[in-house]
Structure 1
Amino acid sequence: MLPESTNGAGGTSGGGLAVPMAWLCAEYLADGVLRAAALVAPGSLEYRAGLQALALTVHLAEEPDGPAGAWAACRVDEWLRHTAYDRPWPPWVEERLAARQASGGEGPDLALARTAWRQLRDTWIRAADLDGRTDPESPVDETEQIWLPAWKLGLPLAHLSLHLR
């Protein structure tokens, strides 16, 4: 299965609409994981942030020329490592997007991944301050809220959802 196909025009060079199959598979998998975890309401801003963060992680962890869909069952540990709290996720995303750009140019999968990253980076959400606690063992005071880029809320949601799958 090729990572991209067309709407029946016989190939991407035949003038048909390119379908971003790799991105759609990653987003479908992320949606299933988040819905199964049931941590936030589907359709909420928090859900969208988690969906985009997990879809980006799934999509960018895959090799660009790898078979679409063949990775789902065996890559969860890798996705957990990439979404872990102590990992530098934003630089990893930037590096992987740049590598994809350099190796294959702009395709529909890369365009959607770049859009998701831009939205996660540029959208700010008011949420509880998870990093502002002085004692890591103390509970989070949800009344003390700050503005966070959406990825800072979506990434822990994606990670926890993967654990609960």
Structure 2
Amino acid sequence: MAWLYAEYIADELLRTGRLIPAGTLEFRAGRDTLALTIYLSDAAGELSGIRVVSQLDEWMSLTAYGHPWRDWVHTRFLALGEEARESGRGEDPDLELARASWRWLDRTELFATNIDAARPGGPEPYQGLDENARVWTPAWQLGLPLGHLAMHLF
């Protein structure tokens, strides 16, 4: 149930932000990236009683540019898997859903605007965002800034 709740929160944040049409692969990338962030940051197992506003700062720091989000995801999956093994209760169904979402995010590439080219301080002088310059990007790399911006707009 915790995974479905995380997915619901992420979906609502993205819909409220109105950054991208629901039903697109880009929307799914943002929703799944946010849902993973929400689910994996719930170390105390209190997701069902969570108040979204009180958690936004933590989620925003986890999705901020420069944060090693992918490494953080792997570390959290290892920790949760170890906890499940130590408790002897086996793999949690929520964790299985989260892992399936991660596999999709990591293995799927979307043809999207090259947002890295628009970052100030990059290898080339800042020229603004050229929306016609597209590159193949792992879904999670597109989902991170979408989710982060949606939380800003909340």
Contact 2:81–2:91 under 8 Å retained in 1:
yes
Would you say the 8 A contact 2:111–2:134 is kept in 1?
yes
Structure with the higher helix share, 1 or 2: 2
Deviation, structure 1 residue 67: 5.1
- Select 1:100's aligned residue among 75, 80, 91: 80
Give me the whole-angstrom Cα distance separating, in 1, the residues matched to 2:17 and 2:45.
Answer: 30
- Return the offset for 1:66: 2.8
Distance 1:62 1:85 in 2: 21
Q: Does structure 1 residue 156 correspond to structure 2 residue 136?
A: no
Alignment partner of 1:51 is 2:36: no
The 1:145/1:67 distance shift into structure 2, 3 A limit, reads: closer
Q: What residue number does 1:135 align with?
A: 125
What is the alpha-carbon distance in structure 2 between the residues aligned to residue 160 and residue 128 of structure 1? 16
Paired residues, what number? 144
Given that residues 39 and 47 in structure 2 are in contact (C-alpha distance below 8 angstroms), is that contact kept between their aligned partners in structure 1? no
Contact 1:25 1:69 in 2 (8 A): no
Cα deviation for residue 71 of structure 1 reads 4.2
Indicate the RMSD between aligned Cα atoms, in angstroms: 1.3
Match of 1:6 in 2: none
Asked if 1:41 corresponds to 2:21, the answer is yes
Give the number of the structure whose alpha-carbon radius of gyration is greater: 1
Can you list the C-alpha shifts for 1:6-34, whole angstroms capped at 9, x where unaligned? xxxxxxxxxxxxxxx10011001001100
Q: CA deviation at 1:68?
A: 1.9
> 1:86: how far off?
1.1
By how many angstroms is 1:146 displaced?
0.8
Give the TM-score taking structure 1 as reference length.
0.83
Residue identity opposite 1:150 in structure 2? A
Task: Tell me the TM-score normalised to structure 2 length.
Answer: 0.88
Corresponding residue SS for 1:126: strand
Identity percentage of aligned residues: 45
Q: Which runs of 5+ in 2 are unaligned?
A: 85-89, 119-123
2:87 aligns with none
